[in-house]
Amino acid sequence: MVKKIVAGNWKMNGSPQDIQSFAHYSQILTKPDQLDAIICPPFPLLGEAKQSFHEQLLIGAQDCHGELAGAHTGDVSAQLLQQMCCSYVIVGHSERRQDHAETDVMVGRKILAAQELGITPIFCIGEQMDQRRAGRWGDVLAQQLSILRDEKIDAGMLVVAYEPIWAIGSGARAENNDIVEAHGFIRAQLASLANNASKIAILYGGSVKPDNVVELSQLADVDGALVGGASLKVEDFSQLVEAFGATL
């Protein structure tokens, strides 16, 4: 059985007060063993999350550097994330690729650095709207996934998040048939990279909300969600966790 995962990406949002709200939720959270609920706050809030969250609510980070230490001002190493008790780290998010000119090679090195420290990477891939309209979405996803082969990355030790770039923060979720097609394509690509491809969690990200999560959770090969705005409120996030928990 594929583990279900609901990961909240707070991006450049959140406060110590928000951490405390989720700390209370972490104490009352009940979920199946085969579901991970994760909050990925900004770096300065990781220490407070470490001190406050109950073990039922896992801690993730929004990025890491490809090196374990060195002269990289403003970056954070996987080694430090491990010390902050991070179980997961988001890598290759489209906002990082766009805002910081991250290449596939850079993303691959981040995956390797996280895996070396026992942190599970949430590897983000996705296409632009013009690529979707031109029918090139499969080529784009295959190219992004090819870094796993090129860098000899253990694909069985990561999570893949499909985030069509045009759906992130837009309020416009991809159509169900497009999501199923893309997730099936990703699963087939992973099959050529790992023996346990059927057990690799593939998450969907892009305007996931309480009012569409039940439908989303029932789609083939959708093993969870990488969520932005809907992860900032305990009430919303809890509904997402419950929806995917109900599928187990």
Tell me the catalytic residues: 93, 163
Task: List all residues 6 or more positions away from 194 whose beta carbon is below 8 Å from its beta carbon.
Answer: 154, 155, 156, 200
In the block, which residue shows the tokens 């394509």? 185
Residue 119 identity (one-letter amino acid): I
Q: How far apart are CA 131 and CA 43, in angstroms?
A: 33
Closest among 62, 22, 20 to 231, alpha carbons compared: 22
* Distance, CA of 172 to CA of 167 (rounded, Å): 5
147-154, long-range: CB within 8 Å, 24+ apart, which pairs? 147/104, 147/105, 147/107, 147/108, 147/111, 148/108, 148/111, 148/193, 149/193, 150/105, 150/108, 151/105, 151/108, 151/109, 151/111, 151/112, 153/108, 153/111, 153/112, 153/115, 154/115, 154/194
